Structure 1
Amino acid sequence: MRLPEHRRYAHSAIPTRPVYDWPGGKRLALLVVNNIEHFAFRAGLGSDSTGLNAVQNQRPYAWRDYGNRVGLWNLLDLLDELEIPSAHNVNSAALETCPEIAPALRARGDEFIGHGRTNSERQDGLWEEDERRLIEESRDILAHHAGVAPRGWLGPYIAQSPHTPDLLREAGFTYVMDWPADDQPFWMETRAGRLLSVPYSVEINDSPALIARHHSGREFADMVEDQFRELLEQSEKRPMVCSVVLHPFILGQPHRLRPFRAAMRRILEHREHLWIARPGELADYVATLPGGVVP
């Protein structure tokens, strides 16, 4: 029996791969990635604090808007306090609507990652030329606000069409985070050349954990710490990536910040064993490794 295939990457079991180090001889890379999103009012898609299948009225819109008005600034203060470099998956509409965001990210030296125009829409149902326009429009607006074009991409709702990797590579993107298939990076094939998949967790991710599965902020903090401690042990054998995924309208709520801060402080007691990096820095490093080291 032959099942449908994506033909983007070949199978590779992690124990069979070459072993390498991250910069400084470290074996565990820690990525803290935040999502900055903007939504249409009473239209399109958007999550709801009460669960899935949101009705698009003023209440869930305002709850999500809390992220750009308050939650993001709570998170940036926390990242500053803990001295954590970060990256942000940014809807281009958020930068156009909220003029304070881009200067704050640039002041931190953080990375802007393409995240579509708005999380009120998905790209996986578009015609190829419409999706191309979405990618290029998002790229160009981020480049204007960041001063440099983004090199990484995460689709709204982590969704792709069959053409997305090709379109991203043709638009100048060099890595993607839409394929949660591994705890190490791996190369993908496109019609314009190779594209790196950087690990991005859908497990250690506050949106599915807290909204879809209704975990508490304290349970999510425990998940973050458990993931980290297990990967730290596994990294004695091979290089690993621990990604922590946040949304300001979710984790930026004060009652969730408190247990998360405590968990991150305990994690950072191991700072000497970590490469705390932004995804673009990880992608740049992987590109310097000899061919065949990364599958």
Structure 2
Amino acid sequence: MLPSHGRYDYHAWPDRPAYSWPGGAKLAVYLGISLQHFSFGEGLGAEICPGPNGGGGPHPDVLNYSWRDYGNRVGAWRLIEMLDALRLPATVLVNSSMYHHAPALVAAHRARGDEIAGHGRTNSERQSSMDETTERNMIREATIALFESEGRRPQGWLSPWIAESRATSDLLAEAGYRYTLNWSADDQPIWLRTRHGPLLAVPYPQEVNDLSSIAVRGDSAEQFAATIVADFEERLLQTRDGKPQVMGIALHPYLIGQPHRLRALRVALEHISQRQGLVWITTAGQIAQHVQTMPGMVP
């Protein structure tokens, strides 16, 4: 017996019950857009090539800092224009430091009615390196910042770098979060055990993710767009078994907001938006809410 996290049990796909998303859809699609801010000259940096602290060189890492900030200053705004044109919702994963660095950007997503979810204070730090007290305080600080700005508590959380300590899921449930995007173990939402009751894990993509595709694997914009379409079409085929799936598309404006990549993404999202009667294009929070309100779905 190997050590286990104890958060969930193995549940084979053929044994899953059949159910549907709203409107009878079997495939739910959401866009997860990360709005991130980094400390200048300290902490973790942005990756473009291997180097100290995940960045391209020693601090101050002007190249990577400014590349990331392009996403906040330009790329994210171009992405919003495209989402408006296609009438697509989004789940926006917000470092709370963005309320000081680029408040107008978060406000623009708020005005669209997008879901605002927690994403820590800054991607210059990882939860996996924090002791429990420090991590609890960090979650609390980020949550208060979102609550004070949005007027409502965030329901979902994605950790910076998707890095968890052994206590992260417990601390998120303790803080009142309804779902997490950290656990990418399934194509359906699954329940995690925590010290404070069940916490829903909504699938977050590691493959249909511009960071993994473009920055890590070196895919072109066209390859990433083709990945989106292929993933979408194959999932539609697979859902003929009656079991619903979640398809997330992870986007980082400093990458996908570059003009040549945005052009390719537009083609892929137009393809998906044309199937709105067949699929449920929604937010991660609405997916979680649907599962949490279905009879017999909460353990």
Q: Which TM bucket (shorter chain)? A: over 0.9
Matched, 1:154 2:153: no
Find the aligned partners of 1:282 and 1:129 in 2 and give their Cα distance.
31
How far the C-alpha of 1:6 sits from its partner, in A, is 0.6
Q: What does residue 28 of structure 2 align with?
A: 29
Q: TM-score, normalised by structure 1?
A: 0.96
Find the aligned partners of 1:230 and 1:207 in 2 and give their Cα distance.
22
Q: What does residue 72 of structure 2 align with?
A: 68
Q: What does residue 58 of structure 1 align with?
A: 62
Instruction: Specify every segment of 5 or more residues in structure 2 that has no aligned partner in the other structure, as ranges.
Output: none
Number of aligned residue pairs: 293
Residues 108-147 of structure 1 mapped to structure 2, 5 A cutoff: 108-147=112-151
Q: What does residue 16 of structure 1 align with?
A: 15
Find the aligned partners of 1:144 and 1:95 in 2 and give their Cα distance.
10
For residue 81 of structure 2, the aligned residue among 70, 77, 83 is: 77
How far the C-alpha of 1:284 sits from its partner, in A, is 0.7
Q: Deviation digits for residues 96-136 of structure 1, max 9, x if unmatched? A: 21120232111100111110000011011101000000100
Q: What does residue 261 of structure 1 align with?
A: 266
Taking a change above 3 Å as real, the CA distance of residues 180 and 190 of structure 1, as seen in their structure-2 partners, is same
DSSP-derived class of the 2:276 partner: helix
Residues 200-279 of structure 1 mapped to structure 2, 5 A cutoff: 200-237=204-241, 238-279=243-284
| Amino acid of the structure 1 residue aligned with 2:62 | Q
CA contact (8 A) 2:77 2:105 kept: no
RMSD value over aligned CA atoms? 1.3
How far the C-alpha of 1:236 sits from its partner, in A, is 1.7
Q: What does residue 101 of structure 2 align with?
A: 97
Q: TM-score, normalised by structure 2?
A: 0.95
Taking a change above 3 Å as real, the CA distance of residues 3 and 152 of structure 1, as seen in their structure-2 partners, is same
Q: What does residue 4 of structure 1 align with?
A: 3
Q: Deviation digits for residues 209-236 of structure 1, max 9, x if unmatched? A: 1111111111110111110010011112
CA contact (8 A) 2:98 2:106 kept: no
Q: What does residue 43 of structure 1 align with?
A: 42
Find the aligned partners of 1:188 and 1:120 in 2 and give their Cα distance.
27
| Amino acid of the structure 2 residue aligned with 1:251 | I
How far the C-alpha of 1:294 sits from its partner, in A, is 7.3
DSSP-derived class of the 1:112 partner: strand
| Amino acid of the structure 1 residue aligned with 2:133 | E
Instruction: Specify every segment of 5 or more residues in structure 1 that has no aligned partner in the other structure, as ranges.
Output: none
Percent of aligned pairs with the same amino acid? 45
How far the C-alpha of 1:290 sits from its partner, in A, is 2.2
Taking a change above 3 Å as real, the CA distance of residues 283 and 158 of structure 1, as seen in their structure-2 partners, is same
Find the aligned partners of 2:190 and 2:294 in 1 and give their Cα distance.
12
